[in-house]
Every structure is written in C-alpha cells, then in structure tokens.
Amino acid sequence: MTMLSRVADTLYWMSRYLERAEHTARLLDLHLHLMLDQSAADPQARWDRLFASLHLSQPPADMHESYAITRWLTLDIYNDSSILACISAARENARHVREQISSEMWEHINRLYFEIKRHDLTPVWYDQPHELYRAVKEGVHLFQGITDSTMSNGEGWNFIQVGRYVERASTLAQLIDTHFQHFANIPLNQTITDDFLEWVSLLKCCTAYEAYCKVYTAEIRPDRIAEYLIFNSDFPHTIRFSVDWIYQGLQSIANITESKRAKHVNRLAGKLHALLDYSSVDEILAAGLHEYLEAVQTQCGQIHNAIYSAYIIYPADDFI
Amino acid sequence: MDLPAEAPTPMFQNYELDIAYDEMFAADGTTRAHYDGIYRLLLELTPEEYQQRKNAADVTFLNQGITFTVYGHDEGTERIFPYDLIPRIITHSEWDTIERGLIQRITALNLFLHDIYHEGRILQQNIVPRDLVYTCKHYRRQMKGVQVQKDVYTAVVGTDLVRVAGGQFVVLEDNLRVPSGVSYMLSNRHLMKYVFPRIFGQYGVRPIDDYGQKLLSTLRSLAPKRRDDPTIVLLTPGVYNSAYFEHTFLARQMGIQLVEGRDLLAHDNVLYMRTSAGLKRVDVIYRRVDDDFLDPLAFRGDSILGVAGLLNVYRAGNVVLANAIGTGIADDKAVYSYVPDIIKYYLGEDAILPNVETYRMTDDKSRSYVLQNLETLVVKAVGESGGYGMLIGPHSTAQEREEFKRRIEADPRNYIAQPTLALSRAPCLFDSGVEARSIDLRPYILYDGDKVSIVPGGLTRVALRRGSLVVNSSQGGGSKDTWVLNA
C-alpha cells in the first residue's frame, strides 16, 4: 500500500508533538515538586535550568513569578512549546490523516485535547498541581497503547515510532547534558550526599528511578546515572533504547517502501546506533560528556533531515 | 383534510394533508399500497420502542463518525448529520420513469457539452443562444477543442428532482460539477438495515451498497488507454472543506488515495503524487475541487488547492479528470431552461422528465411579468447552487423583493424565476409523532462512456422544520433513506 509523503510527515509530527508534551509535563511536574522541598533556593536559577533542559529560550520578560511561568508552559496556547499547544498540534495532525489512523486513536487524542484544554490553572495550581500533569502523561501513554493495539504495524506505524524516538533521544540528551553541566564540579564516581533530590529528580524525569534502583540499588552515583540513562538498552526512556527504535523503524520503512533513497538515512541511523553501541561511560566521561551528548543531538537532527529528504520532500528529478 | 377513522392513533394526530402531493397517503386519506407496511409499523410503534431505535441510530452514526463539524459554536463540535427514520419509498414503475428520464438527460447533456466545446452546431442553429453560453461564468475557453477521454464530460452527476402536486417528478436542477451527498445516501441505508431489519427484509428493496465499486469501475474505464493498471485518486480541497467526511468515506470505500493538491506534481506533462516510496504516476482523478481552483496557472492564480500545470497534463491526455473541466455551463440555471430543447436536438426525443417552468430574465415579456409577481415566484441566480442567491417570494420581505428587482434589472442574464412549487411531502418521525415534511430527491448517476447507470434510490433530503421548503442541511434540512422497490 502506497503512503503519501504528506501522510508520513503528518504521522511523524503527530507522534513527536505528543512525546514533547509528555516530556514537558514530566519535567514541569518534578520541577514544581522540587520547589516545594527547596523553597529557600533561588527560584529564578531553577527556572533557568528547566528552560535549558527543555531547550527553550527564556519566558516573556514580564513573567517572573512561578505561577505565570507555569501557566505559560502548560496551558498557553500561544506559546508553541506549551503542553497544550503540543497536544493541540498533535491533534491537528491526527485530524488531517483521520482516515489513516484508527478511529480509536482519533477519538482518544480528541478527548485528551479537550480534557487538557478545559483546565484552568488557578484551581489546579492551588489544589492539585500534579493532577493535570498526570492526566497528560497518562493520556499520552494510553495513546501509545491504543496505537499499538489498533493500528496495523505497517509503514505509518513505523513513522509514528520513529517520530516518538527521534524526539525522545534528543530531548533526553538535552536534559542529561543540562543537568551534568550544572553539577560539573562534583566527583562523578562517588555516592551523592548533597543535592540528593536533584539527582533522584533527574532519574524521575525519565521515569527511571525505580528501574535504576533495581540495577544499581538506591545508591545514587552520577556516573551510574549517566550510564543508565544513556546506555541501558532495556529501559524505554534511555538514549540507547530510543536509538535502537529509530534504527529499527527506519529499516522497516526502507524495506516496506523499497526506496532507493533510504541508503543515506539508514547510514546515519546506523552511525548513531554504533556510537551508542561502541562507547562506554568511563570513556565519554573522560573525553567530555557534553561533546558526546551534543553529538547525539546533532546526529538526531541529521537523521530528521535525512528522513525528509528520503521520504517527504525529496527532489522530483531523482524519480523522473 | 383528516385521515380516515381507522387511524385513531395519537401517532398521526399532527399529520396534515393539503394540495402538496403526499408520498404516504392518497388525496382521500387512504394509505398508498407501497406505504402500507410502514404505516402499520408506525401504528404499532410504542414511544419506548421509538426511543430505543432512535438511540440505536444515533449511536451508530456517532460511532461511524458520520458527522459534520459546526464551526463557531463550541469549537470543533461535531453533530450528527440530521436524518429521519421513516424511509421514502419509490415504486418500481415510478423508478422506471426516473431512470429512463435521467439516462436520456445525462446522455443529451454530455453531447451538448461536447458540442459547445467543439463545432458548436447547436449554437449555429440557434437552439441555444450563443451569447448565453459564452457569458456563462462556468464556460471554460481553455476546454475549446480539447479531446476528452471517451467524450465523457460528466461521469458523476447528481440531479435534483422534486415531485409536484399531480405526483409527477420534475427536474429542479442538474449538478454536473462536483455533486455531493452520496455518503449520506449510503450511511442512511446502513442505518436502516441496522435499526429496522425486519421490515427492510420484507419490502424487497433494491441494493445501493455497491456504489463505491461502481464509481471505481467508472473511473477505471475512463483511464488513458495506454495505462494497464491505472492509479486512481480522489482530490480533496482538504480537511476544512465541509464535505471532507464524504471524501474520506469514498476514498476508503474505493480503496484509493485521498490526495490534496500539494501531494501532486506535474512534470513534462505527466502527473505524479509524492509517496514515501517516491513519485508515483497518477492516471485518473476523481476531483472534488471546483474548476476555478484546479490549476493556478490556468484558472485562479491564488488557489493553493490545485496543481500547477494540471491543465496541460490534462490536455495532453495523460490524466483524466472526472468530471471534466467546464461542465458547469450545462447546469447554469438559464441553460437549464433549454434542456428539453437540447434533448430534442441531440436525441430527437421529448424529455421524459419535464423541467420546472422557468422564466428567462433576458426575455422582456417574462421579465416584466416576474417583476410584477415576485411575491409568488422563486428567483435564482443562474450560477449558484446549494440554496445560495435565492429569493423565495412567498417567504420574502418587501425589502428583499426590492433588492432582487434591482439586481435582476441590473443583470438579467444572471437570474431566472420559477413558480413556487408545492414539494411533495413524506412522513417523518418526531418525538411528538409522525408529521409530513417537504422532500426532494437527488439520484446519483454514473456515466462511463458506454452506459449511463443510476444507483436505485438516491439522497432524499427533508426540510425538517415545519412549513419549510428548504432542504439544505445548513438550514435545518436532513435526509432519509430512499427505498426503490424490486416489484
């Protein structure tokens, strides 16, 4: 079955936007939680760090206090990076390919959008700030489950997978990088005593705290956290896991389409795959974690561009 | 007039008969034989049963997503397309007349379209005035002399029929460009079989469910000759078009790609679509985009719904458009008034389905009659459809009549007038019981160059508001299933 380039593009972005919404929800949720514990610490610096983790420039100049910034990041439809804007964009994408996705998927994403949209932050903020973020996370998880069980696992499904994991790999790299840069001056191979909550929170941002403890026990060590979040191949919120899926998804798409243009994008995916396969945490900590994570992000960007030039906006001459 | 005493049921207490033709009851109040089964079913229907079936129907429609979006209200609210549960029944012999009449009409209109874009014999003989054709805004000079595949100008047609007081079907207008509504015809049928299976089975109703396959094979038979396994696509203006649901529905029914202009690309007089596997050649387009927007190089330059260069590909014979470009000339309402002459000219036959009496405003005598009698007439702009640009005399204000008088005098070519028709009425089911409502009928006609075929039935549209004559869904109209009986 042929798939229009526009449809592939739309599915890919639908998935990326949902992943972004969930990621932002998780980070904000933990950020607000941490602020409860450390009310004395400078809130502005904390917000700066959150913005850096999300790869965002600073909020509008008139926003200084936490409530306004939280609202801006959560429910401001005019802020393209807000959770609501991401969910809205995902829904718009789904709407344009309604006949290509299952009706269950459409109904769910539509419902999720209306559920989040009807929220007013004021009562949420003073009462149960985490309910809203939980609803976003659950909604996105449910969408993924519905997608897997109601959509044929063909080309479209693979574009959805690739979209999700390209987004996840690059946002994870950004998050880890920001965190390690902030704590650059502490010994990485010793158990954390100060700022314990900060490091646990990093794991929790990746929903990885429980999974980490099962592997390394509750002894929190930065080098182990780096190893886990970058290299673990079994846990879904790690760079390695994401890259495995990008690689596999692109292989499947290449097989289904039999496209002659697939070679370049598959080579890039293979290269990133190998980068993760053949490095170790000691090596990269010694050589520069920042450079390594930056390389991951750059390569994700290259893969994104290569997906476009292979499947979506390729030059017409190649086929005529 | 009252119904006979044998119907003491409160079901029919609000049912009115007057001069309009009633589909269920004869003038003396007796039930027409072919409605007898439905009539008895309605008499026996308890309010609980009615609610239960109505709910079942609502759920079916919602679940299938047979809805249309209402903008401006609660953002993105989707409403069920309004429908009525009592089928409209057409007998075998009534259908026979309709079918023969439409075959004749569509055959003649295709010959007419070919003629005016080639030799123009009918214009030379002044059967249809030359200036009428050349001043029509849907006339496309770009089509002059273009060889259209199998000479099929209109492959997909929806012609609106109404039934007048004497019971005769007459043609209200032809839709030769991009007729819509067929998805509702199919959905209504699906629903009726689900909600009233038993009575449906007893009636012996001719099937319509294969419309999708028939449309597909019509499109396939129009493919350029050299292409063995033609690629057929449906071209939609996109998700914001009010008929987008229908476009997705039909694409799915036919198993073809639903494309937008930006998915297509013309190169060296060949048309391609962009797929993830590379460019794929396109051979036939079932287009649901108006002429004006098809190709910004040939028509409206500000259109982003079309494909630059499409007209050249089309003229080169490398892609087939269904319908062809420029067919709107034949459903211009002033040209419509000549259709009986057109049929006579090309086929040597009298029209089987008559037209509604139509006054041409270019004719001085007719115009002065119309201007003096606006309150009893319906005035229509010739190039419009969907109930736009209309004056319904009996329901108009003096101010509106003044306005139309001014417009007619300023541009007589652009208007026609017709007597206000008493549309036939059919029983409709409401919470309060059964009431009579005005209806029309839009059968869907396919022409593949060899044969004109018509799906038995069509879309029966209903003016659900009491006393209304307007059947358009934007103005309180709905639809009902249409049963054509086997015998």
Inside any domain, residue B370 = yes
Give the pLDDT confidence score for residue B73 in this predicted structure.
Answer: 42
For helices A239-257 and A262-277, angle between their N-to-C axes, nearest 10 degrees: 160
Look at residue B254 and tell me if it is in a domain. yes
pLDDT digits (tens, 9 = 90+) for A72-96: 999 999 999 999 999 999 999 998 8
Model pLDDT for residues B229-255, shown as the tens digit of each residue: 999 999 999 988 888 889 999 998 999
Q: Does A99 contact B248 at a Cβ distance shorter than 8 Å?
A: yes
Asked whether residue B406 is assigned to any structural domain, the reply reads yes
B-chain residue closest to A3, CA distance? B275
Q: For residue range B105-150, list pLDDT tens digits in order.
A: 999 999 999 999 999 999 999 999 999 999 998 999 999 999 999 9
Asked, for residue B460, whether it belongs to a domain, the answer is no
When divided into structural domains, chain B yields a total of 2
Average pLDDT of the residues in A33-49: 77
Q: How confident is the model at residue B160 (pLDDT cuts 50, 70, 90)?
A: very high
Pick from A212, A197, A213, A236: nearest CA to A22: A236
- Mean pLDDT, rounded, for A221-230: 96
Per CB-CB distance under 8 Å, the chain A contacts of B252 are: 99
At residue B145's C-alpha, the angle toward residues B218 and B453, to 5°, is 20
Q: pLDDT-derived band of residue B182, with 50, 70 and 90 as boundaries?
A: very high
B263, B276, B283, B307, best to mutate vs chain A, most A CBs in 10 Å: B276
Q: How far apart are CA B299 and CA B248, in angstroms?
A: 26
Q: Which chain B residues contact residue A105 at CB under 8 A?
A: none
Q: Mean of the per-residue pLDDT values for chain A? A: 92
**pLDDT tier at B297 (50, 70, 90 boundaries)?**
very high
Q: What is the pLDDT of residue B118?
A: 96
Dihedral pair phi/psi, residue B364, rounded to 5°: -60, -45
Kindly determine whether residue B276 and residue A311, on different chains, have CB atoms separated by under 8 Å: yes
Q: Do residues B168 and B226 share a domain?
A: yes
Residue of B307, B305, B300, B304 whose CA lies nearest to B282: B307
B277 contacts A4? CB cut-off 8 A: no
Q: For residue A33, count CB atoms less than 10 angstroms from its CB and return exposed for 0-12, middle for 13-18, buried for 19 or more.
A: middle
**Whether residue B132 is found in the same domain as residue B244:** yes
ipTM of predicted assembly, 2 dp = 0.84
Question: Does B153 map to a domain?
Answer: yes
Decide if B287 is inside a domain.
yes
Strand B415-419, strand B67-70: pairing:
unpaired
For residue B485, what are the β-bridge partners?
Answer: B205
Say what the pLDDT of residue B1 is. 47
Residue B483 lies inside a defined structural domain of this protein: no
Domain of residue B288: give its range: 94-185+207-347
pLDDT band at B48 (very low <50, low <70, confident <90, very high): confident
One domain for residues B159 and B278: yes
The pLDDT of residue A40 is 55
Contact A259 B265 (CB under 8 A): no
Average pLDDT over chain B, rounded to whole? 89
Instruction: Note whether B311 and B266 are same-domain residues.
Output: yes
Same domain, B402 and B337: no
Flag the least confident range among A115-129, B93-107, B204-218: A115-129
d(CA B13, CA B2): 9
The conformation of residue A308, written as its DSSP 8-state character, comes to I
* pLDDT digits 0-9 by tens, A253-285: 999 999 888 999 999 999 999 999 999 999 999
DSSP state of B483: E
- For residue A227, the distance in angstroms to the closest alpha carbon of chain B comes to 36
**B329 part of a folded domain:** yes
A99 contacts B275? CB cut-off 8 A: no
Cis peptide before B241 (omega within 30 of 0): no
Residue A27 pLDDT > 70: yes
> Are B338 and B394 within one domain?
no
* Chain B contacts to A (CB-CB under 8 A): 63, 65, 238-239, 248, 251-252, 257-260, 262-263, 265, 267-268, 272-280
Cα gap B210→B281, rounded to integer Å? 27
Q: Note whether B318 and B368 are same-domain residues.
A: no
> Under an 8 A CB cutoff, do A4 and B248 touch?
no
Residue B287 shares a structural domain with residue B413? no
User: Using CA atoms, how far apart are residues A283 and A288, in angstroms rounded to an integer?
Assistant: 8
Buried b (16+ CB within 10 A) or exposed e, A232-257: beebbbbbbbbbbbbbbbbebbbebb
- Tell me how far apart the alpha carbons of residues A268 and B316 are, in angstroms, rounded to a whole number: 42
What's the pLDDT score for residue B66? 63
Distance (Å, whole) CA B467 – CA B487: 33
Neighbours of B41 (CB within 10 A): 15
| Alpha-carbon distance values, B472 to A85, A163, B385, B475 (Å) | 36, 43, 10, 5
At residue A57 the predicted structure's pLDDT band, cuts being 50, 70 and 90, is confident
Binning chain B into helix, strand and coil, the percentages to the nearest 5 are: 35, 25, 40
- Answer with the one of B302, B318, B347 that is the final residue of a domain: B347
Q: Tell the burial category of A285 from Cβ atoms under 10 Å away from its Cβ (0-12, 13-18, 19+).
A: middle
Q: What is the number of other CB atoms lying within 10 angstroms of the CB of residue A185?
A: 5
Highest mean pLDDT among A30-44, B63-77, B277-291, B473-487: B277-291
Give B-chain residues touching A98 at CB under 8 angstroms.
Answer: 65, 239, 248
Alpha helix (H) residue ranges in B303-436: 310-315, 333-336, 339-347, 364-372, 398-410
Q: Is the pLDDT of residue A300 over 60?
A: yes
Per-residue pLDDT band for B78 (boundaries 50, 70, 90) equals low
* CA dist., res. A303 & res. A264, Å (int): 9
User: Do B267 and B174 reside in the same domain of the chain?
Assistant: yes
pLDDT band at B50 (very low <50, low <70, confident <90, very high): confident
Domain ranges of chain A: 1-151, 161-320
Q: What is the dihedral of CA B309, B310, B316, B320, to 10 degrees?
A: 170
Residues B333 and B371 in one domain: no
Length of chain B: 487
d(CA B331, CA B156): 13
Q: Which of A99, A106, A320 sits opposite B251 (nearest CB)?
A: A99
Looking at residue A265, what is its pLDDT? 96
Which among A35-44, B150-159, B185-194, B391-400 has the top mean pLDDT? B150-159
Digit-coded pLDDT (tens) for A106-128: 889 988 998 898 888 777 777 77
CATH number at residue B370: 3.30.1490.270
CATH code, domain carrying B319 = 3.40.50.11290
Rounded Cα distance, B148 and B152, in Å: 6
Residue with tokens 């005098």: B409
Say if the Cβ atoms of A319 and B278 lie within 8 Å: yes
